Structure 1
Amino acid sequence: MPQPALLRREGTQVRLRSGAPETPDVSALSWVVADAGTGEVLAAHNAHEQLPPASTLKTLFALTVLPSFPSGIQHTVSARELAGIGEGSSLVGVVEGHTYRVSDLWHGVFLNSGNDAVHVLAALNGGWTQTARQMQAKARTLGAMDTYVVSPDGYDADGQVSSAYDLAVFGRAGLRNPDFARYCSTVETAFPGNGGSTFEIANTNRLLTGADGVEPYPGLIGIKNGYTSNAGNTLVAAAHHGRRTLIVTVMNPQEGEGFEVYEEARALLDWGFDAAGHVDPVGSLDGLRPVAHEARSVLPHPAAAPPPAAPAAA
């Protein structure tokens, strides 16, 4: 297995065998294609470049907080829990005084990328600042060394960064959690409304749903998309064909319109499935993970106050 230093190099890293297809020409500032089963990185471009993650950081939030609360727990939302949501944030429609199941809130996080749902779950978890520190500790136990958490919902904040490598690590870990895997693959569901009513919410990951003219990717499992004006469009996606599951991360395409992130992910997935078995790995998603720690470890610590308002996360 190549040393992690190979993935530290700038530009595209790939080790093609004879007859292997060339990597696609994509415009993202950073990307990774990895085998979710083995953890082998098949190809990458600026894998460890630190960039704002937008709402793909919610993958780390879920890995950190999901184990803390059974999905059937009910909670009545207070005004305090909804305070401090950044201006222009994506919302699912959580209402003060309404009682929700924890599973409802997680649907709001994964499908609508609801920062309101994140704020409520973080409050249940001990607070916004403690949750940020727990996420930071979780990232390190997974070997994600490029990530610095300031705002658990992915909302732009000074100093908050991740990388295509780290986000692929989070996506792979998420697929091993049955709750995470179920939520991230849900296309649509009913969300509680007023007076006992419900309304439909749909996943904003167009590569999963096929919405807005984006063709759904065959075998796509899901995971998480994101957008802020600072981060651009970001995506962690996983798909399964035959006996192989691939993870791709795409960060901030520089060409095309807003949905270009899905087309670049599609091209990378297509390449990955065609190239699998015909390339030598350039690294591993386990390559930086501390030997003495387990992925399920979560270490709570006190943390700083929530960040000031900044551009919205989607």
Structure 2
Amino acid sequence: MKQKRLSIFFIFIFILSLNTNVFADNAPQKPDPQIYGKAAITIDMQTGEIIYAKDVDKQMYPASTTKLLTALIFAKNKSKTDVLTYTADAKVQPNVSLNVNLHPIDIGETMTAQDAMDGLLVYSGNDVAYMIAENISKNATDFADKMNAEIKNLNLSNTHFVTPNGLHDPNHYTTAYDLSIIANTAFQNQWIRETMSKSKSSIKTSKGTTFLIDNTNKLLGKDGCIGGKTGYTLPAGRCLVAFYERNGRKILGVVLNSVYDQKDSFVFDDMKKIIDWSYDAKPVNLHKKDSVITTKTFKYKPLVFIGPEKTINVPVIIKDDIYYYSNEISKKELKEVTKLNNITVSELKENGQVGTLTIKERNSSKDYKLYANLPNGTLLKNNLPIYGVTLLVTLVAIGIIAFAVKKLLDLIRRKKRGKYTW
């Protein structure tokens, strides 16, 4: 008997192993990863959905992640073969810890825009950012106006930039959410995307000076990391933007104000944690398939042109499971917008589409079709009494008319017989 029970137990375990998603909808979510970064976010780059969120609207200093916006404006105004001149303001930019310059370069030396983009994004040169700014605008202040115009164009309300390189200024700030929008926009540009993917590069000036540079993003090429941008100042802490692609799915991560340790590992560990967590995250079921979302009320006349007016409430359902990621933003901001079509009862069909349900969350919006849950014969069944009475009245009326006609014909025949009788 004991052996039989063991056999049944192992068969049950085997069946469960073949159906790993049996309890997927009810599986508990993994706890949020614990990171050193004061603010962080991950976003599904295809849908715009926020997956992981930590103080995403808190204003922070972005340090050299600022250069993603500088690169975006640069790519919009220059081509790879354009020539840029090294400026006086570029020459005097300070080396600040991890954000360094390409010195020695003389004022007036030139380089291609392609080399400048490498120096900006691969090496994170503070001087290169100023050179770019002053080759596009008359000065860095004018370039900052262009940056803030782009910020406004992206509908970002918690960001204001002052410098092209992100060196500290109390009026130079952003949020994890706003920076994710800037980063995602920059990533859509092929030139920027290709540059961030380089692990190494070389830069050559007009005087023949050559710089061999390495990408400052330690995660590049590991576990699906296809690009990113680092940053650091003492007030900003260690910052990182990273782009990942695994099995065709792209996720963007942002970490702000993490710790700069002796091995410079914390911010990269933070990013790895939130990205791994986000790829494993299971969305929460908001509405199950065939759930009733609302009802639509119809007024109509069963006899079309005559008779009483009736009302019918038709359940409106979805035919898909609807999911969302539970985080601090979705808990506060997730919205459901129902839009029903202007149709009549005569246009209703069994499971016919009657509208759209839109699930909105910040930069994410998904539409789902809504259907009328009206089984065939419902209207007929509801109106049988009226149809029955109408049929009875009609039959009685026909009977009366038939009887009257018969009487009339009989009368006519009798009159005819009387007329010809001698």
TM category (shorter chain) comes to 0.7 to 0.9
Q: Which residues of structure 2 form unaligned runs of 5+?
A: 1-23, 285-322, 334-360, 365-422
Aligned letter for 2:175?
A: S
Are 1:92 and 2:102 counterparts? yes
Q: Percent of counterpart pairs with the same letter? A: 26
SS of the equivalent of 1:173 reads helix
In 2, the alpha carbon distance for the partners of 1:147 and 1:186 equals 28
Report the alpha carbon displacement of residue 64 of structure 1 after superposing the two structures with TM.
2.1
**Kept in 2: contact 1:29–1:254 (CA 8 A):** no
Match of 1:217 among 222, 231, 248: 222
Aligned to 1:131: 143
In the alignment, which residue of structure 1 is the partner of 2:168?
A: 156
1:112 Cα deviation after fit: 1.2
Q: How does 1:55-134 map to 2 (within 5 A)?
A: 55-78=64-87, 80-86=88-94, 88=96, 90-93=100-103, 94-126=105-137, 127-134=139-146
Give the equivalent residue in structure 2 for 1:30.
39
Secondary structure at the residue paired with 1:159? coil
Quick one: structure 1 residues 84 and 203, their matched pair in 2 at CA, closer, same or farther if it must change by over 3 Å?
same
Residues 225-271 of structure 1: CA deviation (Å, up to 9, x unaligned): 10001111000111000121001111112586532000010011101
The answer on whether the counterparts of 2:44 and 2:252 sit within 8 Å (CA) in structure 1 is yes
3-state SS of the aligned residue for 2:177? Answer: helix
Cα distance in 1, alignment partners of residues 55 and 158 from structure 2: 12
Unmatched segments (≥5 aa) in structure 1: 1-15, 209-215, 288-314
- Residue 196 of structure 1 aligns to a residue whose secondary structure is coil
Please state if 1:169 is matched with 2:145: no
Shift of residue 280, structure 1, vs aligned partner: 1.8
- Indicate conservation of the 8 Å contact 2:159/2:178, yes or no: yes
Which residue of 253, 260, 263 corresponds with 2:269? 263
Task: Return the alpha-carbon distance in structure 1 between the equivalents of residues 86 and 92 of structure 2.
Answer: 14
Aligned partner of 1:6 in structure 2 is none
Report SS of the residue matched to 1:155: coil
List structure 1 segments (4+ residues) > 3 angstroms apart after TM superposition. Answer: 86-89, 254-258, 276-279
Between the aligned partners of 2:128 and 2:271, the Cα distance in structure 1 is 27
1:280 is aligned to 324
Q: TM-score, normalised by structure 2?
A: 0.59
Q: CA deviation at 1:18?
A: 3.3
Which protein has the larger Cα radius of gyration, Structure 1 or Structure 2? 2
Deviation at 1:133, TM superposition (A): 1.1
> Does the 8 A contact of 1:169 with 1:285 survive in 2?
no
Greater share of residues in strand: 2
SS of alignment partner, residue 106 of structure 2: coil
Q: Are residues 140 and 18 of structure 1, via their aligned partners in 2, closer, same or farther at CA, if it must alter by over 3 Å?
A: farther
SS at match of 2:111: strand
Letter in 2 for 1:77: Y
Deviation at 1:68, TM superposition (A): 0.1
TM-score by length of 1: 0.78
Q: Deviations over 1:87-117 (max 9, x none)?
A: 5351123432322001111100001110111
CA distance in 2, matches of 1:23, 1:255: 22
Check 1:195–1:83 CA distance in 2 against 1; reply closer, same or farther (3 A cut): closer
**221-230 or 255-264: bigger deviation:** 255-264
Question: 86-95 or 144-153: which moved more?
Answer: 86-95
Which amino acid is the alignment partner of residue 226 of structure 1?
G
Change (3 A) 1:70 1:32: same
Q: Per the alignment, in what secondary structure is the counterpart of residue 108 of structure 1?
A: helix
Give SS of 2:202's match.
strand
Equivalent residue for 1:232?
237
Q: Please tell me whether the aligned partners of residues 30 and 251 of structure 1 are also in contact (alpha carbons under 8 angstroms).
A: yes
Q: Report the Cα offset of residue 285 of structure 1.
A: 5.7
Distance in 2 (CA, whole Å) between partners of 1:130 and 1:122 is: 8
Q: Give the letter aligned to residue 265 of structure 1.
A: M
- Aligned mate of 1:45, from 45, 54, 57: 54
Whether the 8 Å contact between 2:237 and 2:260 is mirrored in structure 1 is no
Query: Match for residue 54 of structure 1?
Result: 63
Matches within 5 A, 1:6-21: 18-19=26-27, 20-21=29-30
Q: Is 1:198 matched with 2:210?
A: yes
- Do residues 179 (structure 1) and 184 (structure 2) align? no
Offset of residue 275 of structure 1: 1.1
Please give the alpha-carbon distance, in whole angstroms, between the structure 1 residues aligned to 2:216 and 2:102.
11
CA RMSD in angstroms comes to 2.3
Aligned to 1:303: none
Note if contact 2:117-2:195 (Cα within 8 Å) is conserved in structure 1.
Answer: yes
Residue of structure 2 in register with 1:248 after alignment: 253
How far the C-alpha of 1:181 sits from its partner, in A, is 0.5
| d(CA) in 1 for partners of 2:112, 2:206 | 15
What amino acid maps onto 1:242 in structure 2? N
User: Could you say if the C-alpha distance between residues 277 and 206 of structure 1 is closer, same or farther in structure 2, counting changes exceeding 3 Å?
Assistant: same
For residues 243 and 105 of structure 1, the distance between their equivalents in structure 2, rounded to whole angstroms, comes to 31
Query: Separation in 1 of the partners of 2:43 and 2:25?
Result: 17
Hey, which of these two has a bigger chunk of helix by percent? 2
